[in-house]
């Protein structure tokens, strides 16, 4: 008998080698926001195309190879707890690190300010924050850090040099929060992908999926009042049915996201840290994963044709919409498009400790000349930009074209 399709669970484990035939799925039960649809899994049947003697005769079809895909939809929940103290990566942060390439905290622990300036705060801790990392400062309404994200240039001794200035100079005892940074690798030889295996459980059939890797992501919910969300498409090398115990007893994370509110959008020329923010009406990130599937021999399952994958070129587009200028011959957003100056941008979603996310783009090339349009019966302008590799070669983090931060 069929049971409700809205019931289900998905658990995962990293693979020691691609597609390995192992049946443990205990790392984490993903806190998905939509039921798992297994209909994208494929076990091909191929027409034998044998010659027959009668008009409508035929022969048995040939059992082919396995493959297909499924999707997981998750909130982007922030870290789930305050990052003012010691920081340990959550299961969702670790999973997203496998998707994009890397996940690491900007510092093992948060600290406090003892003073300093808006671009060079003085900290209690010495040299603990990573160059290129994202942090959060202060609390909403303090007129200093204001609970917003900031991008770090360097942390030398007790001086925290920022790429994006705070709203004001920090006071003694203002909290400096660490953040978990999720980011792609930029080295041309950093093309390996950690394969995963998933157990897809429903109230009826269940499927083990082996040799899984991400092929697409969709980030949404970045506008005021929305909930930040990510949908990940996973390719599958081979699969089989399971009779595992359902409901699953594997632990999950129940960290709720913060609604987008009271955040900010920092935007200035590359190399200029002076705080300048834009009042956006909509904000969107289109991230196209560059992933090349490898076909070949050597699979562990007799129907397995996919034996690996490699990262290729990602494409990252940032789009935002603002209200149109008053009549002028030098409107701001169109001016970005006609100029050649690169921009850097830092988006903060919200200011609640434990549910904050940020997105930093160190090197944006404006890719359109904004023309006024009617949007919700108001005159507005939309700007598009492509995110490229950062100019600081210290590490993969400083080079990364996009940094997604949780705090």
* pLDDT single digits (tens) 277-326: 999 999 999 999 999 999 999 999 999 999 999 999 999 999 999 999 99
State pLDDT tens for residues 110-156.
999 999 999 999 999 999 999 999 999 999 999 999 999 999 999 99
pLDDT of residue 361: 98
pLDDT of residue 291: 97
The span from the CA of 43 to the CA of 18, in Å, is 19
242, part of any domain: yes
* Domain boundaries, position 248: 7-19+65-407
Q: What is the percent of the chain with per-residue pLDDT over 70, rounded to a whole number?
A: 100
pLDDT of residue 269: 98
State pLDDT tens for residues 44-75.
999 999 999 999 999 999 999 999 999 999 99
281, part of any domain: yes
pLDDT of residue 228: 98
Decide: pTM greater than 0.95: yes
CA dist 21 → 14, 63, 183, 334 (Å): 12, 21, 30, 55
31, part of any domain: no
26, part of any domain: no
46, part of any domain: no
32, part of any domain: no
274, part of any domain: yes
Residue keyed to tokens 């909290």: 175
Domain count, the chain: 1
pLDDT of residue 348: 98
Of 367, 370, 373, the closest CA to residue 343 belongs to: 367
Show the tokens assigned to 292.
């090349």
289, part of any domain: yes
């Amino acid at each position: 008998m069929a049971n409700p399709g809205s019931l289900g669970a998905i658990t995962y484990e990293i693979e020691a080698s691609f597609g390995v035939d192992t049946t443990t799925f205990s790392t984490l039960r993903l806190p998905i926001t939509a039921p798992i649809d297994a209909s994208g899994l494929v076990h091909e049947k191929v027409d034998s195309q044998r010659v027959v003697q009668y008009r409508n005769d035929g022969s048995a079809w040939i059992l082919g190879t396995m493959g297909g895909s499924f999707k997981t939809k998750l909130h982007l929940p922030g870290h789930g707890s305050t990052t003012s103290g010691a920081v340990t990566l959550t299961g969702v942060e670790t999973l997203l690190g496998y998707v994009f390439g890397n996940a690491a905290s900007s510092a093992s622990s948060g600290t406090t300010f003892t003073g300093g300036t808006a671009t060079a705060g003085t900290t209690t801790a010495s040299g603990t924050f990573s160059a290129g990392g994202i942090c959060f400062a202060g609390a909403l309404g303090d007129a200093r850090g204001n609970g917003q994200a900031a991008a770090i240039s360097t942390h030398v001794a007790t001086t925290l040099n920022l790429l994006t200035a705070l709203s004001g100079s920090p006071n003694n005892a203002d909290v400096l929060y660490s953040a978990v940074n999720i980011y792609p690798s930029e080295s041309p030889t950093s093309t390996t992908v950690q394969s995963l295996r998933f157990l897809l459980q429903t109230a009826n059939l269940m499927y083990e999926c082996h040799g899984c890797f991400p092929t697409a992501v969709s980030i949404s919910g970045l506008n005021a009042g929305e909930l930040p969300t990510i949908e990940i498409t996973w390719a599958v090398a081979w699969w089989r049915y399971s009779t595992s115990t359902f409901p699953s007893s594997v632990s999950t994370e129940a960290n709720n996201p913060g609604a987008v509110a009271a955040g900010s959008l920092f935007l200035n020329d590359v190399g200029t840290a002076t705080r300048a923010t834009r009042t956006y009406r909509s904000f969107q990130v289109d991230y196209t994963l560059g992933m090349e599937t490898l076909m070949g021999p050597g699979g562990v399952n007799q129907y397995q044709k996919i034996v690996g994958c490699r990262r290729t070129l990602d494409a990252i587009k940032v789009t935002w919409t603002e209200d149109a200028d008053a009549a002028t011959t030098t409107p701001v957003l169109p001016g970005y498009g006609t100029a050649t100056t690169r921009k850097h941008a830092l988006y903060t979603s919200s200011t609640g400790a434990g549910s904050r996310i940020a997105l930093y783009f160190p090197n944006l090339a404006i890719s359109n000349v904004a023309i006024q349009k009617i949007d919700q019966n108001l005159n507005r302008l939309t700007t598009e930009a492509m995110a490229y590799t950062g100019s600081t070669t210290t590490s993969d983090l400083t080079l990364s074209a996009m940094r997604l931060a949780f705090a």
